[in-house]
Amino acid sequence: MAKQQAEATNPVNEKLKALQTTLEKLDKAYGKGTVMRLSDTKVLDVPVISTGSLGLDLALGVGGVPRGRVIEIYGPESSGKTTLTMHCIAEAQKAGGLAAFIDAEHAFDKGYAEKLGIDTANLLISQPDSGEQALEIAEQLISSGAIDICVIDSVAALVPKAELEGDMGDSKMGLQARLMSQALRKLTGVINRTGCCCIFINQLRDKIGVMFGSPETTTGGNALKFYASVRLDIRRIGQIKDGDNVIGNRTRVKVVKNKVAPPFKVVEFDIMYGEGISKAGEVLDLAVDMEVVKKSGSWFSYGTNRLGQGRDGVKEMLKDNPDLLEELENKIKEKIKGDEKALLDTQEPNIADDGELE
């Protein structure tokens, strides 16, 4: 009897009962799963779309760009921003998904998209007249729940109506920043609910009067920096030549922000003109870094087999041997999973949890 009275007056039990009643009311009012315990659902298993780059998928920590999140890809001109997003679209389509491309820059190249593996016949494309129209189209497409990936190219080209209707010399301070802030407030919930991956491509500008640190900043205000779950900084770091002809770029991508895995990972790969990201070249470079493939002088060997001489020759050999390429890919994934510091940026200082430089 005393035990039953103690249980009845136990404040912890009373709190749990009150919580359960509240949860039931919320489920009835807003739908099941409005509030949930992390132990009740697989919230932490983030569904992803591959980027088309093995190294970048591994650097992102979850195997690609996360669905249901806002992603920002920024960098200087001709650094590979659109190429990277086109690879994401191609990978989403390969998995049976639908893709939308909001071409605010009016610079979409159908021939190049097809070379990268995009099924242009089933790609939804829009070339809007204003920033408001672009973001409204994006919101309605994402709200439908049918779109798996939506790319907006680019934030800098999202011109507010007021600016378009004004004269060329008019000053319109902060209009684009306000537009982006309002749009992201509306979009974030819809993106999360539908599981669509929304990628914003952004350009770089220089801030005036910066004496210390980098003067570079992205366009469209600060809202996108906060709402983005993943921010990728992509740079061209060199040219790839065949004799005197430039046939591609060496590209470096840094994961500047990552809410789904540890950030600050860095990866490098080749972007070949007319082909996109060179998978064979990237697998070979990672295999050498992870000591899966041994390099002695200009010779490459895997186990007891000699793969060939010269990086370009071995790249071509791997292209012709997809089974060997897949085997090397799997070995690299195993190695990187067991090494937390793999692909970590060692060239720039990283910020520790206490805010001090490491």
d(CA 160, CA 325): 47
Residue 169 has pLDDT above 80, yes or no: no
DSSP for 67-122, written as a single string: TTSEEEEE-STTSSHHHHHHHHHHHHHHTT--EEEEETTS---HHHHHHTT--GGG
Task: Say what the pTM is.
Answer: 0.86
Quick: pLDDT tens for 118-160.
999 999 999 999 999 999 999 999 999 999 999 999 899 999 9
- Residue 275 contacts by C-beta under 8 Å, 6 or more apart in sequence? 115, 116, 248
Residue 85, marked binder: no
Cα dihedral sign for 247, 252, 258, 262?
positive
Quick one: pLDDT at residue 338?
Answer: 64
Average pLDDT over the chain, rounded to whole?
88
- Residue 77 contacts by C-beta under 8 Å, 6 or more apart in sequence? 203
HSE-CB for 94 with a 13 A CA cutoff: 13
DSSP 162: H
Judged by average pLDDT, the poorest of 75-79, 187-191, 304-308, 352-356 is 352-356
Quick: pLDDT tens for 217-234.
999 999 999 999 999 999
Judged by average pLDDT, the poorest of 99-103, 198-202, 305-309 is 305-309
Read off the tokens for 33. Answer: 């799963």
Residue 78, marked binder: yes
Mean pLDDT of 285-295: 90
Residue 257 has pLDDT above 60, yes or no: yes
DSSP for 195-251, written as a single string: T-EEEEEE-EEEPTT--SS--EEESS-SHHHHH-SEEEEEEEEEEEEETTEEEEEEE
Residue 174, marked binder: no
Quick one: pLDDT at residue 353?
Answer: 36
Residue 77, marked binder: yes
Quick one: pLDDT at residue 35?
Answer: 83
Q: How confident is the model at residue 347 (pLDDT cuts 50, 70, 90)?
A: low
Q: How confident is the model at residue 33 (pLDDT cuts 50, 70, 90)?
A: confident
Quick one: pLDDT at residue 345?
Answer: 63
Q: How confident is the model at residue 350 (pLDDT cuts 50, 70, 90)?
A: very low
Quick one: pLDDT at residue 349?
Answer: 44
Judged by average pLDDT, the poorest of 95-109, 157-171, 255-269 is 157-171
Per this entry, what is the length of the chain? Answer: 358
Read off the tokens for 9. Answer: 């007056």
Q: How confident is the model at residue 265 (pLDDT cuts 50, 70, 90)?
A: very high
Q: Residue 65: which H helix or E strand, with range?
A: strand 65-66
d(CA 239, CA 59): 23
Quick one: pLDDT at residue 102?
Answer: 97
Task: Measure Cα distances from 276 to 52, 136, 272, 292 in Å.
Answer: 9, 31, 5, 25
Q: Domains (ranges, CATH) in the chain?
A: 48-164+172-277 (3.40.50.300), 278-339 (3.30.250.10)
Helix (H, G, I), strand (E, B), or coil: what is residue 149? strand
Task: Measure Cα distances from 31 to 144, 187, 274 in Å.
Answer: 18, 20, 48
Contact 254, 260 (CB under 8 A): no
Residue 145, marked binder: no
Q: How confident is the model at residue 30 (pLDDT cuts 50, 70, 90)?
A: confident
Residue 75, marked binder: yes
Contact 270, 242 (CB under 8 A): no
